[in-house]
Amino acid sequence: MQNKEEKIKQLSPMQEYVIQQNGTEAPFKNEYWDNHEEGIYVDIVSGEPLFSSTDKFDSGTGWPSFTKPINGTALTMQTDKKLWVPRTEVRSSSADSHLGHVFDDGPKDKGGMRYCINSASLRFVPKADLEKEGYGAYMYLFEEGDAGGVSAE
């Protein structure tokens, strides 16, 4: 497996800008904002599972939005004071990649949180490929009756 530095060298300029320079990609012009396929989203550098399509929703912002992470320990939060109002930045725990920001204006019936994430920080693994790519342990997210649900949106 490649180390972090080797993986970062293989990133596109936009991916490097987002995850290493805390950048933001354009809304509605990114890979996953309108993805409705079942699967999980992993850190582009480490491959750490971060979000599930079962928790993805259309926030109208033009970025992929999720109500919660797969596992809270996969993320770290820190205060971002770059704008006129402080925001909560979301980073991956394993690779320290900048992912986006979290806000408290998400669906109230799903906990009220909106994780607004840059597509450039993610890699999507379709449900059909989870076993093949070593993420078979996450198939439970797509089982009927699971707390995660089965709907992609």
Would you name the residues annotated as active-site residues? Answer: 116
Which residue from 133, 115, 114 is spatially nearest to 125, judged by alpha carbons? 133
- Chain centre to alpha carbon of residue 122: 6
Count of other CB atoms within 10 angstroms of residue 14: 17
Helices (H) and strands (E) in the chain, counts: 2, 9
